Amino acid sequence: MKSILIPAFLFSCLSLCAQDFQLLNGNILMANKGKVVHRLSYGYADFPSRTSNNIETPFNLASISKIFTATAILQLMEKGKLNLDDPFQAYFPEFPFPDITIKHLLTHTSGLPDLELFEPLIKQYPDTIVSSHIVIDQLIASHRTPAFKPGDEFRYCNNGFVLLSLLVEKISHQTFDEYLHEQIFRPAHMHETFLYDPTQNKLPTQVSKHAYESFAVDSLSRTRDLKKYRYTDYNNDAATGASNIVTTVNDLLLFDKAFFGFKLLKPATVQLAITPVKLNNGTYYTEKTMDTMQGEGEGSYGMGWELFDQPGYGKGAGHGGFQFGLATFYYHNLDKNQTIIAFDNTAAPSFGAIVTNALRIMNDQPPIAPGHKKSLVRIYVTTLVKEGADAAATQLSLLKTDTAHYYLSEWEMNKAGYEQLYDYYRIDAALEIFKLNCLLFPLSFNTYDSYGEALNKAGKKKEAIALYERSILINPNNKDGIKELSKIKAR
């Protein structure tokens, strides 16, 4: 392939897109054949202290960590320590599901429950920090069965990769941290990478995660300071295998070169890792969307790797990561040997557009014009809380036709309603938001479902029944709505 000469005006455009922290607050790296062609760093690693991001700032990879767990398992397979078709129960006899294999865990086809597994425990003991070593006990205590026959379906499950980290420890006779350092980080020369453990007293510095407290507050806060994120940012912040590898964009590029340079696994094993999972019915799992990357293409999943097939760009492998207040993305174009790594510690809505534009730039395509539109929902809810319903409705009426500068999202409006209903207990504000959402999006079953829920909570049974019935009329498969309507009528 010809060497890439990236026009200066294209990089200027990307830079202009990224300088506004609402578009990118973090780091992005682009490489061709392992060589960096551009690195950009923007915004704050921590907003309250005004600590700036720089290219060496460490970020939690979130779900990109699954690639490392999968690599560890495949290394043990190469050494003859395990077979992918082995039942997980063969290594952990107390594990209650004999039909679930290592491969099922690697490919998200086990049917196991995800983070909802721990809700009863944390409800009873709110200060619980879920560690990897309690997952099997909780699976036993829950008396839950897999959602489907293992191998029949794909359903993303973090707990499967937590279990795999336990398997690495059992077979290697090392902690997961020790194994990663000796078998992956050190061979790849990743000297700035570590496994995050919040139970340790002294922790290396890493970026803070930030989010808006609510749609009524137009400033970013650390997620760890916001009560509504406690379940994910405190209770479920310690398990390894599915998340919690912390690294820099430079170190992740070193992994990329080591992995696809066959320094960590043999070529045949690398190919196995990036081959789409085949379900029990003989079909390969694919879907018409891709993680983070925008535009046309299909997504699928291998063994710890998300797979991309995009017209004009070819096949790619990598992974996206998300936590509240954090978005990460790693992409390796298999046909062109191009790499994109991007981290954002505000999980800005433009993150997907930024990485998509990076790919376009690397392939001599002009970037998509960045969107600088403001959220009408945020303006509406802020005005509603501060000035009342009439002032908020006036603002919305005046601005909603200006689609060049403002956007209106049904999903944001629905989320804002639930914030007022359950986080701030402003039931009148919640009713106003849900009512407006029904008027703005009258063909959406979900708007009526949510409004019905709020009306029921306000004690307006008759109105709640009517809204649930409308929701079910629009979507007869609204099982949750049918169940809730039945409960209301039975009272």
- CATH number reported for the structural domain that contains residue 301 in this entry: 3.40.710.10
Structure confidence at residue 371 as a pLDDT band (50, 70, 90): low
Residue 361 and residue 384 share a domain: no
189 and 151 fall within a common domain: yes
Give the three-class secondary structure for 477. Answer: coil
Same domain, 117 and 175: yes
Is 213 in the same domain as 329?
Answer: yes
- Mean of the pLDDT values across residues 199-228? 81
Between residues 183 and 368, which one has the greater pLDDT? 183
The sign of the dihedral angle between the CA atoms of 74, 79, 84, 86 is negative
Q: Which domain, by its residues, includes 368?
A: 1-372
Residues 389 and 347 placed together within one structural domain of the fold = no
Strands 374-375 and 406-407: parallel
The mean pLDDT value for 165-189 works out to 98
Q: Give residue 7's pLDDT.
A: 46
54 shares its domain with 173: yes
Q: Which residue has the higher pLDDT, 113 or 368?
A: 113
Instruction: Indicate whether 190 and 236 sit together in one domain.
Output: yes
Both 138 and 150 in one domain: the answer is: yes
Cβ proximity of 40 and 28 under 8 Å: yes
Give the separation between CA 272 and CA 106, rounded to whole angstroms. 12
Choose the final residue of a domain: 372, 390, 405: 372
User: Which of 347, 372, 397 corresponds to the end of one domain?
Assistant: 372
Number of domains in the chain: 2
| pLDDT beyond 70 at 458 | yes
Q: In the sheet where 298-301 sits, what is the strand order?
A: 35-41, 26-32, 338-344, 326-333, 314-323, 306-310, 298-301, 286-287
pLDDT of residue 201: 53
Model confidence at 205: pLDDT above 90: no
Q: Which residue has the higher pLDDT, 217 or 334?
A: 334
Same domain, 183 and 332: yes
Q: Do 20 and 162 fall within a single domain?
A: yes
Would you state the pLDDT for residue 176? 97
Residues 63 and 11 in one domain: yes
CATH assignment of the domain containing 479: 1.25.40.10
Is 277 strand, coil or helix? Answer: coil
- CA 433 vs CA 220, 381, 427, 437, 444: distances in Å: 22, 8, 10, 6, 15
With a cut of 90, say whether residue 258 has pLDDT above it: yes
Give mean pLDDT, residues 270-286. 96
Same domain, 415 and 299: no
> pLDDT of 391-414, one tens digit each?
999 999 999 999 888 999 998 999
Question: pLDDT category, 263, cuts 50, 70, 90?
Answer: very high
pLDDT in the model for residue 203 = 57
Write the burial class of residue 251 (CB in 10 Å: 0-12 exposed, 13-18 middle, 19+ buried): buried
